[in-house]
């Protein structure tokens, strides 16, 4: 049996991880750069394969600053939908790290988060279009 205090801490961590991921995905579609900044670690690395340019095998990388700027510029607003179909699956959560799958109408994101002094932050993301 897990002690009650440990269960409460685990539930609080789960809620905080979900909140960070929701800030990331909803912040994008709402053009809310503050939410995006709150979700991302400043050293975020976000990668996908061959979305832009002529090389379908190119590994494309975005930084936290680029994501925050794109959010502020409203790039996600143009991709928004009435039903975003956001689904957040926490695959692993223990010892201050988490692995999360986030699905929505437009993207699939595989995310790694770390519990920092100022809250849970996304540090790695691999993504693709749906």
- In percent, how much of the chain has pLDDT > 70? 95
Res 115 pLDDT > 90 = yes
> Do the Cβ atoms of 4 and 84 come closer than 8 Å?
no
Sorting pLDDT into bands at 50, 70 and 90, what band is 3? Answer: low
Q: Is 88 left (phi over 0), alpha (psi -120 to 50) or beta?
A: beta
Average pLDDT, stretch 99-112?
98
Res 1 pLDDT > 60 = no
Q: How far apart are CA 65 and CA 7, in angstroms?
A: 35
The structure's pTM equals 0.92
**Structure confidence by residue, pLDDT tens digits, 12-62:** 999 999 999 999 999 999 999 999 999 999 999 999 997 776 788 889 999
Q: Is the dihedral of CA 23, 28, 29, 35 positive or negative?
A: positive
Q: How far apart are CA 70 and CA 93, in angstroms?
A: 29
Instruction: Say what angle helices 4-30 and 64-72 make with each other, to 10 degrees.
Output: 50
Mean pLDDT (the chain, rounded): 94
């Amino acid at each position: 049996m897990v002690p009650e205090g440990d269960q409460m801490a685990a539930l609080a961590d789960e809620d905080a991880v979900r909140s960070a991921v929701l800030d990331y995905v909803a912040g994008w579609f709402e053009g809310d750069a503050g939410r995006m900044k709150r979700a991302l670690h400043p050293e975020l690395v976000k990668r996908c394969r061959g979305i832009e340019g002529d090389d379908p095998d190119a590994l494309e990388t975005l930084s936290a600053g680029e994501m925050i700027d794109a959010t502020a510029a409203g790039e996600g607003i143009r991709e928004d939908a009435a039903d975003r179909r956001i689904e957040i699956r926490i695959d692993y959560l223990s010892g201050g790290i988490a692995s999360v799958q986030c699905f929505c109408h437009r993207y699939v994101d595989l995310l790694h988060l770390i519990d920092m002094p100022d809250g849970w932050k996304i540090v790695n993301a691999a993504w693709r279009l749906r």
